[in-house]
C-alpha cells in the first residue's frame, strides 16, 4: 500500500499523519500521532483513523533530546509496525519568503534557501527544517515536499503587500506575507460543501490558537491577513504580542539595553496572554482563573479580534460570514460567544444553544452575517499538496520521456 507521511514539527513536538494513496488522487488517513515533551518528558502516541490506540510510550530525556531523534524514533516504529510503502514525506514550513509561493520538492539547495528565513520565524522555521535535514541525510532519494504557510497569501495586491518603507527593502523580501495559510486554504476549500451560500462571498476566517491570526477571503482567495513580515504581528497570541508600535522595539534596545537576541526572545516568549496575565498563556487556564490579569488578557484578546475584524471587513468591502477554526476557535464556546459580542455591529447574532453544542453553524436565523465553526486540517492539506507535486512531477517526466 503506497502512503504519504506528513510531518508538522514544532519546538518540542512532532505531529505526524500517514495517508494511504488510493487511486490517482484519493487519500485515506491511516495513522495519526504525536511525539511531544521532546527533551523533557518525551512521549510517543499514535492511533488509527478510528481513534483506536496504536502506541503510548514514554522515553527518557536523554533518549529523545531533540526533534531529529524524535523523528527517527517515530519513523522506526512506523517501519516496524505498519505495513505500507512510503512514497513521499510532506512538511509544513512556516516561512517561504519571497521565493516560494507554492509547494516544492526539497533538495539541499532549497533547505539552504529556507534557512535564510529562520530570523523571520525563529519559533518555527528551525524545527520545520530539522526533520527535512534528517530525512535528506538518512533517505536521500525519498521525495520530500515543503508546503508553506505563506503561500496562500501570495496573491495579495501590491497595496496590501507593502509596508511604508523604501522599495529597495521590498525587493529584498521585507513585505507582508501572512501565515497559517495551510489552515486557511483548507477551511476555504471546505466552505463550498459546508456553506455554499457564503463560499464565494466575503469571509473572515479566524485561526485562533496559541498562535492566532485572521484572514480576509473573497471568493476563496486571501486578500488580507492580520500577520505580516513575521508571525509576531496582528492578534495577541499565547506568548507573542501581536500588533506593536515599532518604537517599542527601539525602546527595548536603547532604554532597556536588550541585545537583539534578548529582544527577540522577549517578543516571542514573554508577551501576549502570558505577559498580560502574568498567569498563563493557555486560554483554558485563564478562563478558570480569578486573577485580574487573566481577565485583562482575555478581554484584550477579544477586543483585538473585534478591531481586526473591522480592518479585514474594510479590505473586503463588507462581510458575509465569520468562521472560527483552530484550538480556541473550535473548542471554546465561551471565547466564541465573547468574540461574537464584538461583532454585533456587523449584525452578528449568536445561537447560544448551537454554540454550546458545538454545531457547525452557530448564528441565529436573525443574524445578518453567518457564523460557522469549521475544524481545520493542515495535515490533510499538506498530504494533498504532496500528492499533487508527485503526480505533476511524474507527468512531466512521462512527457519528457515521450519527446526524448
More confident residue, 121 or 262: 262
Q: Under the phi-then-psi rule, with left for phi > 0, alpha for psi from -120 to 50, and beta for the rest, what region is 112?
A: alpha
Q: Which long-range contacts (CB under 8 A, 24 or more apart) does 102-105 make?
A: 102/148, 102/151, 103/145, 103/146, 103/147, 103/148, 103/151, 103/385, 103/386, 103/388, 103/389, 104/145, 104/146, 104/389, 105/143, 105/144, 105/145, 105/146, 105/389, 105/393
Q: Which residues are catalytic?
A: 149
Kindly report, residue by residue over 177-210, the tens digit of the pLDDT: 999 999 999 999 999 999 999 999 999 999 999 8
Kindly report, residue by residue over 168-178, the tens digit of the pLDDT: 999 999 999 99
- What angle is formed at CA 340 by the lines to CA 365 and CA 329, rounded to 5 degrees? 105
Element (H, E) at 247: helix 246-254
State the burial class of residue 357 (Cβ atoms within 10 Å of its Cβ: 0-12, 13-18, 19+): exposed
Q: How far apart are CA 82 and CA 397, in angstroms?
A: 30
**What is the DSSP-derived secondary structure letter of residue 361?**
B
At what angle are helices 292-316 and 333-341 packed, to 10 degrees?
Answer: 60
pLDDT at res. 11: 63
pTM: 0.91
Task: Provide mean pLDDT across the span 251-258.
Answer: 97
Q: Decide if 210 contacts 327 (C-beta within 8 A).
A: yes
Q: How far apart are CA 351 and CA 348, in angstroms?
A: 10
Q: Decide if 247 contacts 260 (C-beta within 8 A).
A: no
Kindly report, residue by residue over 340-364, the tens digit of the pLDDT: 999 999 999 999 999 999 999 999 9
Kindly report, residue by residue over 103-158, the tens digit of the pLDDT: 999 999 999 999 999 988 888 899 899 889 988 998 999 999 999 999 999 999 99
What is the percent of the chain with per-residue pLDDT over 90, rounded to a whole number? 79
Task: Provide mean pLDDT across the span 375-393.
Answer: 92
pLDDT at res. 37: 81
Amino acid at each position: 500500500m503506497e502512503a504519504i507521511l506528513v510531518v508538522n514539527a514544532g519546538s518540542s513536538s512532532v505531529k505526524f499523519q500517514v495517508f494511504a494513496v488510493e487511486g490517482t488522487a484519493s487519500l485515506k488517513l491511516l495513522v495519526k500521532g504525536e511525539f511531544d515533551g521532546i527533551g523533557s518528558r518525551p512521549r510517543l502516541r499514535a492511533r488509527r483513523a478510528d481513534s483506536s490506540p496504536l502506541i503510548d510510550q514514554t522515553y527518557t530525556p536523554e533518549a529523545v533530546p531533540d526533534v531529529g531523534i524524535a523523528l527517527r524514533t517515530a519513523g522506526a516504529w512506523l517501519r516496524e509496525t505498519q505495513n505500507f510503502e512510503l512514497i513521499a514525506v510532506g512538511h509544513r514550513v512556516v516561512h517561504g519568503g519571497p521565493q516560494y509561493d507554492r509547494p516544492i520538492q526539497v533538495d539541499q539547495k532549497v533547505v539552504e534557501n529556507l534557512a535564510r528565513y529562520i530570523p523571520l520565524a525563529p519559533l518555527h522555521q528551525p524545527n520545520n527544517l530539522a526533520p527535512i535535514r534528517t530525512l535528506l541525510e538518512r533517505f536521500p532519494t525519498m521525495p520530500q515536499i515543503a508546503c508553506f504557510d505563506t503561500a496562500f497569501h501570495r496573491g495579495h495586491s501590491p497595496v496590501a503587500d507593502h509596508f511604508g518603507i523604501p522599495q529597495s527593502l521590498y525587493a529584498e523580501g521585507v513585505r507582508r506575507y501572512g501565515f497559517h495559510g495551510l489552515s486557511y486554504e483548507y477551511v476555504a476549500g471546505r466552505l463550498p460543501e459546508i456553506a455554499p451560500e457564503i463560499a464565494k462571498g466575503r469571509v473572515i476566517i479566524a485561526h485562533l490558537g496559541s498562535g492566532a491570526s485572521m484572514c480576509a477571503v473573497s471568493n476563496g482567495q486571501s486578500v488580507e491577513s492580520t500577520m505580516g513580515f513575521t508571525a509576531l504581528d496582528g492578534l495577541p497570541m499565547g506568548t507573542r504580542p501581536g500588533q506593536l508600535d515599532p518604537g517599542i522595539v527601539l525602546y527595548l534596545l536603547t532604554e532597556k539595553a536588550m541585545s537583539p537576541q534578548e529582544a527577540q526572545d522577549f517578543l516571542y516568549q514573554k508577551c501576549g496572554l502570558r505577559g498580560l496575565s502574568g498567569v498563563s498563556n493557555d486560554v483554558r487556564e485563564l478562563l478558570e482563573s480569578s486573577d485580574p490579569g487573566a481577565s485583562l488578557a482575555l478581554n484584550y484578546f477579544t477586543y483585538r479580534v473585534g478591531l481586526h475584524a473591522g480592518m479585514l471587513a474594510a479590505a473586503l468591502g463588507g462581510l458575509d460570514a465569520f468562521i472560527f477554526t483552530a484550538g480556541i476557535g473550535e473548542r471554546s464556546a465561551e471565547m466564541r460567544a465573547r468574540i461574537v459580542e464584538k461583532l454585533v455591529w456587523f449584525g452578528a447574532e449568536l445561537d447560544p444553544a448551537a454554540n454550546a453544542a458545538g454545531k457547525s453553524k452557530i448564528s441565529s436565523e436573525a443574524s445578518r452575517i453567518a457564523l460557522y465553526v469549521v475544524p481545520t486540517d493542515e495535515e490533510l492539506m499538506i498530504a494533498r499538496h504532496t500528492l499533487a507535486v508527485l503526480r505533476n512531477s511524474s507527468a512531466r517526466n512521462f512527457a519528457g520521456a515521450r519527446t526524448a
